[in-house]
Amino acid sequence: MNARASVRTAITGVGWAVAGPDFDPATALAGKGMRHKDRASRFAVRVAQRTLEDAGLLDVPELEGAAVVVSSNFGNLDPVCDSITTIATGRSADISPMRLPQLSSAVSAAWVALNHGIRGPNLTLSNGTSSGLDAVAAARNLIAVGRATAALVIGVEPDSPSVARLHRETAGARWIDGAVGLVLEPVQQAADRGARIRAEITGYGKADDGPSAVRAAGGPAAPRRLGDEATERYGRCSGALGVVQCALAVERMEDEPVLAVAGAGTGESDGTSVSALVLAPPLGRDT
Spatial distance between the Cα atoms of 233 and 230, rounded to a whole number of angstroms: 5
CA-to-CA separations, 119 to 112, 116, 122, 162, 272, in angstroms, rounded: 11, 9, 8, 32, 32
Indicate the range of 36-50, 81-95, 107-121, 154-168 predicted with least confidence.
Answer: 81-95
CA atoms within 13 A on the CB side of 189: 23
Q: Residue 120's pLDDT is what? A: 96
Residue 77 has pLDDT above 90, yes or no: no
pLDDT average, residue stretch 208-220: 86
Q: Residue 144's pLDDT is what? A: 96
| CATH level 3 topology of 3-203 | Peroxisomal Thiolase; Chain A, domain 1 (3.40.47)
Percent of the chain with pLDDT strictly greater than 90: 67
Domain boundaries, the chain: 3-203
Q: Residue 220's pLDDT is what? A: 62
Residue 98 has pLDDT above 70, yes or no: no
pTM score above 0.85 = yes
Q: Residue 223's pLDDT is what? A: 64
Spatial distance between the Cα atoms of 114 and 105, rounded to a whole number of angstroms: 16
pLDDT average, residue stretch 203-222: 85
Residue 250 has pLDDT above 90, yes or no: yes
Spatial distance between the Cα atoms of 165 and 187, rounded to a whole number of angstroms: 43
211, amino acid identity? P
Q: Residue 35's pLDDT is what? A: 85
Mean pLDDT, all residues of the chain: 89
Residue 75 has pLDDT above 70, yes or no: yes
With bands split at pLDDT 50, 70 and 90, how would you rate the model's confidence at 90?
confident
pLDDT average, residue stretch 139-148: 97
Residue 198 has pLDDT above 50, yes or no: yes
Q: Residue 4's pLDDT is what? A: 43
Distance, C-alpha 46 to centroid of its chain:
13
Q: Are strands 67-71 and 151-157 parallel, antiparallel or unpaired?
A: parallel
How many C-beta neighbours within 10 Å does residue 64 have?
12
Q: Residue 78's pLDDT is what? A: 83
Residue 87 has pLDDT above 90, yes or no: no
138, amino acid identity? A
Q: Which residues pair with 23 in a beta bridge?
A: 20
Residue 100 has pLDDT above 70, yes or no: no
Spatial distance between the Cα atoms of 152 and 215, rounded to a whole number of angstroms: 27
